[in-house]
Chain A
């Protein structure tokens, strides 16, 4: 009698255990099913909406990467090739030459190259750029706005939650489908092959 009782008790315990095990499995399954519509489809990446960007300079410091994954991109298509470039030179500069005292960029990441009278071309050196937006501000204020801040996808870790997005005062950073950045002006976004 007592052995039989024990036997019944054990099976009941096993039954409860099995029930919990399979309800955990079922719970995971239900969650996966519920999230399925959000799982299929595009991968998303962080991007700056350059129209919303206020060039506050927080991108340089808020990113978890040092230096920041946000870099200055130059949309050559929009550039006026100015001699007096608002993004290259400090305000009130006397000589328009490449002297360090004349440059706006704190890391001298912009190179100035003579093309022909009176045009100059400006290139950004990615490994020097820290994303401080000083040149972007200058170009926006005095030029065509061809210098723009953007997240460099090859550096960005695609964090769960972009720590710059959280600090961004103008909500300019959001997730967009990868390979489809409509957020920059003057650049046909296409992935480097």
Chain B
């Protein structure tokens, strides 16, 4: 009796031993039993990059930011800033291949805020937040030479030409629009547009597609004459830093002591970020001020509403970028992704996934709703930025001497070299 239990146990355990082999694998040909003692090799599964190295990147970021802030604010040395830029291009650019970067991390944070099932990597979060804190403390020292994209353009900018002030103002709105678009696409889980259309990452990885290579090349060639075109007129992270830097605790100054109004630094800034001294103007009539105030307070809401209305008209266009929405549309119109006779891969995969058309439509309707609301917010935000830009043009700011414009100054330290005042002289 006992023996039979042992036998039964043996058989059962043998069955379970074989059961550990995946059940759903198509086992057409049984695993061979080798007679000459061949030992089956194990499949090698390489492990990812060490987590420690990821944290090393964060440590490098903090060290580099502290150093460059020290170089700019205390040492006041353009040369040291330049060499930090070179280091950043080499380390964050070519060694880390432009990934992880603070600009792209905007999307990670957005996605983590809006989608519950997404876990944001700690490094991406730290790369997003640390430059923000440093900017609040010391101004845009991150832009000066830590961001590999900015550093690359800064090195290239050899013959910068001044841009008309009105053009600079108008182009300065684009970073905010780009930021809004990137947040919209990331929040709906559609795409990470900043990474996809990063003009320089292809250079860092040495494998850009032809289009991206051309765009990146154009930016670099334009960057020789127009200093940092991407940073000033597109970079969405720059838009964030632009706002925060206005309220920074400390910020670099052109002169170490008091400005003597010698005008030597007037043309020093390649970014047009030096506030020229302005005379105190005569007091305006109260009537004009009040009228302007009323006009602006009516105009800004109108801008917000118009922007929202215009953008909401494009919401279906935005939504079409989402692969699911696109799939539903292709299925509905029976257009087969323009593939003609052969069934498109997406449609084949959808049919084999077992998801019903109704389920897909439900999901798509939800995404389209998100896009409709998001487009209103995006448009309203753009309208608000436009309105605030107009207000900033009308507000009179008194500057007795030459000082950096805290919002647009990239803290590159070029202007300091032009200042004849040396510390401790006056």
Contacts and interface: CB of A to CB of B under 8 A. Distances in A.
Interface of A: 17, 20-21, 24-25, 28, 31-32, 34-35, 38-39, 41-45, 51-52, 54, 56, 58, 64-66, 73-82, 115-116, 119, 121, 123, 140, 142-145, 150, 152-161, 163, 166, 169-171, 175, 178-179, 181, 185-187, 189-193
Contacts, number: 178
A193 B44 CA distance: 10
B249 interface: yes
A175 B120 CA distance: 11
A77 B136 CA distance: 57
A43 B109 contact: no
B40 A185 contact: no
B45 A54 contact: no
B249 A21 contact: yes
A191 B196 CA distance: 30
B249 A160 contact: no
A162 to B, nearest CB: 10
Given A157-B99, A161-B192, 10 more contacts: A24-B244, A25-B136, A43-B51, A64-B207, A78-B25, A143-B29, A156-B48, A166-B323, A185-B22, A192-B46
A88 B41 CA distance: 18
6 contacts: A24-B136, A64-B207, A78-B22, A82-B29, A153-B49, A175-B118
Interface of B is mostly: loop
A21 B135 CA distance: 11
A145 B25 contact: yes
Contact of A163 (B29, B132, B196): B196
A35 B120 CA distance: 8
B38 interface: yes
A119 B207 contact: no
B79 interface: no
B175 interface: no
Contact of A153 (B36, B48, B109, B125): B48
A191 B46 CA distance: 6
Contact of A21 (B26, B104, B247, B352): B247
B345 A35 contact: no
A161 B21 contact: no
Interface string B115-130: 0001111101100010
Interface string B21-49: 11011111111101110101111111111
B346 A35 contact: no
B406 to A, nearest CB: 11
Interface string B98-115: 011000110111001100
B119 A44 contact: yes
Which 10 pairs of residues, A with B, have the shortest CB-CB distance? A80-B29, A154-B46, A191-B47, A170-B349, A169-B349, A153-B48, A161-B192, A169-B345, A169-B346, A185-B22
Contacts of B104: 160
Interface in B121-160: 121-122, 124-125, 129, 132-133, 136
Given A35-B109, A76-B42, A169-B345, A115 B34 contact: yes
B177 to A, nearest CB: 21
B184 to A, nearest CB: 15
A77 to B, nearest CB: 7
A160 B99 contact: yes
Contacts of A25: 133, 136
Given A80-B30, A145-B25, A159 B46 contact: no
A32 to B, nearest CB: 7
